[in-house]
Amino acid sequence: MKERHEHILGEVVRAYLDTGSPVGSKLLAEQGELGLSPASIRNVMNDLEKLGLLYSPHTSAGRVPTDTGLRYFVDTLMVVDPDMRQTMEHAISDHLHDASDRQALLQRATSELASLTHFAGLVSVREQGVRRIQRLELIPVSSEKVLAVIVTDSGEVQNRLLARPNRIQDAELHQVSVRLNELLRDCELAEARRRLRMEMESDRLRVRQLLQDLKRWADAPTQNQSELFVSGQRQLLEMPEFGVIDTVRSLMSAIEEKGRLLDLVAQVEQEKSGVKVFIGSEHALVHMEQVSVVLSRYEGAGNVVGTLGVIGPRRMHYDRVLPIVDCTAKWVSRMLGAN
Amino acid sequence: MKERHEHILGEVVRAYLDTGSPVGSKLLAEQGELGLSPASIRNVMNDLEKLGLLYSPHTSAGRVPTDTGLRYFVDTLMVVDPDMRQTMEHAISDHLHDASDRQALLQRATSELASLTHFAGLVSVREQGVRRIQRLELIPVSSEKVLAVIVTDSGEVQNRLLARPNRIQDAELHQVSVRLNELLRDCELAEARRRLRMEMESDRLRVRQLLQDLKRWADAPTQNQSELFVSGQRQLLEMPEFGVIDTVRSLMSAIEEKGRLLDLVAQVEQEKSGVKVFIGSEHALVHMEQVSVVLSRYEGAGNVVGTLGVIGPRRMHYDRVLPIVDCTAKWVSRMLGAN
DNA sequence: CAATGGCACTGTAGGGGGTAGAGTGCCAGA
DNA sequence: TCTGGCACTCTACCCCCTACAGTGCCATTG
Beta bridge partners of A305: A126, A299
Q: Which helix (H) or strand (E) holds A302?
A: none
Residue pLDDT tens, chain B, 339 long: 689 999 999 999 999 999 999 999 999 999 888 889 999 999 999 999 999 999 999 999 999 999 999 999 999 999 999 999 999 999 999 999 888 778 889 999 999 999 999 999 999 887 665 678 888 888 888 788 888 888 887 777 888 888 888 878 888 888 888 888 888 888 887 888 888 888 888 766 677 788 888 888 777 655 445 678 888 888 888 787 776 677 777 788 778 776 667 766 666 666 666 898 999 998 888 888 889 999 998 888 767 788 899 999 999 999 999 999 999 999 999 998 754
pLDDT value at residue B205: 60
| Chain C positions with a protein C-beta closer than 7 Å | 3-6, 9-12, 21-27
Q: Which residues of A touch B337 (CB under 8 A)?
A: none
The Cα–Cα gap between B337 and B304 comes to: 9
Residue A178: CB less than 7 A from any atom in strand C: no
**Residue at minimal CA–C1' distance from D2?**
A40
- pLDDT above 70 covers what percent of chain B? 89
pLDDT value at residue B240: 74
Nearest to A265 by CA among A295, A231, A303: A295
Phi and psi torsions of B122, nearest 5°: -125, 140
Q: Are A16 and A280 in contact (CB under 8 A)?
A: no
Question: Can you point out the beta strands (E) in chain A?
Answer: 54-55, 64-65, 120-127, 132-140, 145-152, 157-163, 187-188, 226-231, 275-278, 291-299, 304-313
Residue pLDDT tens, chain A, 339 long: 689 999 999 999 999 999 999 999 999 998 887 889 999 999 999 999 999 999 999 999 999 999 999 999 999 999 999 999 999 999 999 999 888 778 889 999 999 999 999 999 999 887 665 678 888 888 888 788 888 888 887 777 888 888 888 888 888 888 888 888 888 888 887 888 888 888 888 766 677 888 888 888 777 655 445 678 888 888 888 777 776 677 777 778 777 776 667 766 666 666 566 898 999 988 878 788 889 999 998 888 767 788 899 999 999 999 999 999 999 999 999 988 754
Nearest to A234 by CA among B256, B237, B227: B256
The Cα–Cα gap between B124 and A109 comes to: 24
The CA angle B270-B274-B280, to the nearest 5 degrees, is 80
Phi and psi torsions of B152, nearest 5°: -95, 170
Whether residue A237 and residue B256 make contact (CB cut-off 8 A), yes or no, is no
Q: Are B107 and B220 in contact (CB under 8 A)?
A: no
Q: Which residues of A touch B142 (CB under 8 A)?
A: 134
Q: Are A20 and A241 in contact (CB under 8 A)?
A: yes
Using the CA of B61, which nucleotide's C1' is the nearest one? D22
Residue B39: CB less than 7 A from any atom in strand D: yes
The four Cα atoms A250, A252, A257, A262 give a dihedral, to 10 degrees, of 90
Whether residue B137 and residue A134 make contact (CB cut-off 8 A), yes or no, is no
Q: Are A211 and A195 in contact (CB under 8 A)?
A: no
- Torsional sign, CA B24, B28, B30, B34: negative
pLDDT value at residue A80: 96
The four Cα atoms B5, B7, B11, B14 give a dihedral, to 10 degrees, of 110
Which residues does A208 contact at the CB level (< 8 Å), separation at least 6? A200
Strands B132-140 and B145-152: antiparallel
Buried b (16+ CB within 10 A) or exposed e, A147-165: bbbbbbbbbbbebbbbebb
pLDDT value at residue B140: 85
Q: Chain B residues within 8 A (CB-CB) of chain A?
A: 100-101, 134-135, 137, 139-142, 145, 147, 149, 151, 155, 157, 159-161, 233-234, 237-238, 242-243, 245, 248-249, 252-253, 256, 339
Q: Please provide the DSSP assignment of A18-34 as one string.
A: HH-S-B-HHHHHHHTSS
pLDDT value at residue B243: 65
Q: Which helix (H) or strand (E) holds B230?
A: strand B226-231
Which residues does A333 contact at the CB level (< 8 Å), separation at least 6? A298, A299, A300
Q: Straight-line distance from CA A40 to C1' D1, in Å?
A: 10
> What is the pTM assigned to this prediction?
0.81
pLDDT value at residue A267: 64
